[in-house]
Amino acid sequence: MLATRTTGSTIWRNIAGGTALLALSLPALAGDALVTSWNTSSILRYDETTGALVGTFVASGSGGLQTPHSARYGPDGNLYVSSFGSSAVLRYDGQTGAFIDAFVPSGRGGLSGATDALFGPDGNLYVPSFNTPGVKRYDGQTGAFIDDFITPGNGLVAAESGCFGPDGDFYLANSTGNNILRYDGQTGAFVSVFAASGLSDTHALIFGPNGNLYASAFGNQRVHEYDGQTGAFVRVFVGVGNNLVSAHSMAFHEGSFFVTSFGRDRVNEHDAATGAFLRTFVLPGAGGLDGPISITFMPDPPSLTPYGCGSNPTGSLPVLAGTPSIGTSFTLGVDNPAGTQSAGSIPLLYLALDSDPLFPCGTLLPRFGQGGPGASGELLLDLHTVILRQVGGPWPGPGNPVPFTLAIPPELTLVGVEFRAQGLLIDRNAALGVRFGLTEALSGVIGF
């Protein structure tokens, strides 16, 4: 069985004749870990499984990088790095680390001490300005200054990292204010002090797969969990110990929770559900790591891979066009290349979040194969996780697959989402032939 690496809720709706995927709180499927090294002004790359050093991803000072704070992927697949020391946001190739440009040049719009750089639901870039303090908004295509999205006041002392919540509001770590502030996600208007219990020098925020908000407490060496709707304190998720000194950035990945230990030059790995310590993921100072601030995982490229064990014929669910990339469309076709069903059969396409528990061969269903009357077919999806059933047609005949076009919005939360696809042809005229014909299946990953 393929492990489903997506959580949260997913919905589908028809748009302009296609099908668009929308997602809420879906963590990304990812590859190697990228860790910003504050004191060396570089970004290092580590193997996602072993934590071993792969190499330097962004060389020291590349493009004018000075004390990098955050590194996040943008909708173009490139890496946006907040250069605290130069009060800029620098853009690097998301696969090679090569410098592209100063997307937000030093000091643009009054930026002073860039601590984060994240894209919002509107496609624009939001940059906390530590020294102002507040949050600047920039055009997500050009980097042009738009406005001061969040302005000083309401107890804001020092703007650290921010994030948009599932409710669309903006949450800001108010570091030496020892709390988390909540703002209207569209206007930037102050809403409330969302959480404060037990925090000392709040540094980073992340919503987890369970919808709760996790905050690193740089000052008291731990990570707190808060109710994602009310802000009520839930628990100390990661406590003092295991050389976690000056806790900073966090990431959920492959069932684990990662947190950088700025004061011990390492990255720790914990159980994503319980917070229990698992291991030191990146060893102290590995590759010259000195003052790790942020950790992010490289996204895998988009893919569509057939699977099954041969009962359903090859070519019965071809990829007709495109790849599953955000902001684009791709087209699958439902066909019966064996020709055991009559023209005019009704095609259906199913999408699910996981494969059948008997992966890779699936469950054999008598009389659901395309091989002829009575042949078995492989059910290759987990029906409990089906998120889409779409009807097309009519089917013209062998070699003429019915197209199903799926449009993917330019939403960063969709990057890394895994899905499964399988088709079915229903021949209502089959008295003694094949009435139900299952196609092969595809395993897909949404990428840039």
Please tell me the predicted confidence (pLDDT) of residue 254: 87
**How far apart are the C-alpha atoms of 101 and 244, rounded to whole Å?**
34
**How far apart are the C-alpha atoms of 396 and 59, rounded to whole Å?**
56
- Domain shared by 293 and 314, yes or no: no
- Domain shared by 18 and 90, yes or no: no
- 27 against 356, higher pLDDT: 356
CA torsion, points 426, 432, 438, 439, in degrees to nearest 10? -100
Please tell me the predicted confidence (pLDDT) of residue 396: 96
- 276 against 411, higher pLDDT: 276
- Domain shared by 350 and 219, yes or no: no
Per residue in 175-185, pLDDT tens? 999 999 999 99
Helix (H, G, I), strand (E, B) or coil at 117: coil
Q: Is residue 190 part of a domain?
A: yes
Contact 161, 116 (CB under 8 A): yes
**How far apart are the C-alpha atoms of 59 and 96, rounded to whole Å?**
11
Into how many domains does the chain fold? 2
**How far apart are the C-alpha atoms of 72 and 53, rounded to whole Å?**
20
Average pLDDT, the chain: 91
Please tell me the predicted confidence (pLDDT) of residue 30: 54
Per residue in 191-206, pLDDT tens? 999 999 889 999 999 9
Helix (H, G, I), strand (E, B) or coil at 189: coil
- Select from 267, 299, 331 the last residue of a domain: 299
**pLDDT above 70 for 1:** no
Q: Is residue 269 part of a domain?
A: yes
Contact 247, 228 (CB under 8 A): no
- Domain shared by 314 and 289, yes or no: no
4-7 LR contacts (CB < 8 Å, sep 24+): 4/353, 4/354, 4/385, 4/418, 5/29, 5/254, 5/416, 5/418, 6/353, 6/416, 6/417, 6/418, 7/209
Q: Is residue 352 part of a domain?
A: yes
- Domain shared by 290 and 390, yes or no: no
- Domain shared by 13 and 65, yes or no: no
Give the residue numbers spanning the domain of 367: 9-23+302-445
- Select from 299, 324, 343 the last residue of a domain: 299
- Domain shared by 276 and 383, yes or no: no
Please tell me the predicted confidence (pLDDT) of residue 150: 97
- Domain shared by 19 and 157, yes or no: no
Return the bridge partners of 207, or none.
Answer: 213
Q: Mind giving me the DSSP string for 48-107?
A: TTT--EEEEEE-TTGGG--SEEEEEE-TTS-EEEEEGGGTEEEEE-TTT--EEEEEE-TT
- What's the rounded mean pLDDT across residues 16-44? 68
- Domain shared by 245 and 307, yes or no: no
Per residue in 279-304, pLDDT tens? 999 999 999 999 999 999 998 889 99
CATH of the domain at 181: 2.130.10.10
Spell out the residues 6+ positions from residue 161 whose beta carbon is closer than 8 angstroms to its own. Answer: 70, 115, 116, 128, 172, 173, 203, 204, 205, 249
Q: Is residue 1 part of a domain?
A: no
- Domain shared by 341 and 253, yes or no: no
Please tell me the predicted confidence (pLDDT) of residue 300: 84
Per residue in 113-144, pLDDT tens? 999 999 999 999 999 999 999 999 999 999 99
Return the bridge partners of 55, or none.
Answer: 45
Per residue in 304-315, pLDDT tens? 999 999 999 999
Q: Is residue 4 part of a domain?
A: no
**For the purposes of burial, counting CB atoms within 10 Å of the CB of 380, is it exposed (0-12), middle (13-18) or buried (19 or more)?**
buried
Q: Is residue 3 part of a domain?
A: no
- What's the rounded mean pLDDT across residues 248-268? 95
Please tell me the predicted confidence (pLDDT) of residue 410: 86
125's tokens: 């870039």
Per residue in 73-129, pLDDT tens? 999 999 999 999 999 999 999 999 999 999 999 999 999 999 999 999 999 999 999
Q: Is residue 170 part of a domain?
A: yes
Band (pLDDT 50/70/90 cuts) for residue 331 is very high
- Select from 264, 299, 334 the last residue of a domain: 299
432's tokens: 């003694």
User: Cis bond leading into 394, ω under 30°?
Assistant: yes
pTM as predicted:
0.85
- What's the rounded mean pLDDT across residues 255-281? 97
- Domain shared by 68 and 197, yes or no: yes
- What's the rounded mean pLDDT across residues 56-66? 97
Contact 113, 84 (CB under 8 A): yes
- Domain shared by 15 and 80, yes or no: no
Residues across the chain: 448
Per residue in 410-422, pLDDT tens? 888 888 889 999 9
- What is the Cα gyration radius of the chain? 24
Q: What percent of the chain has pLDDT over 70?
A: 93
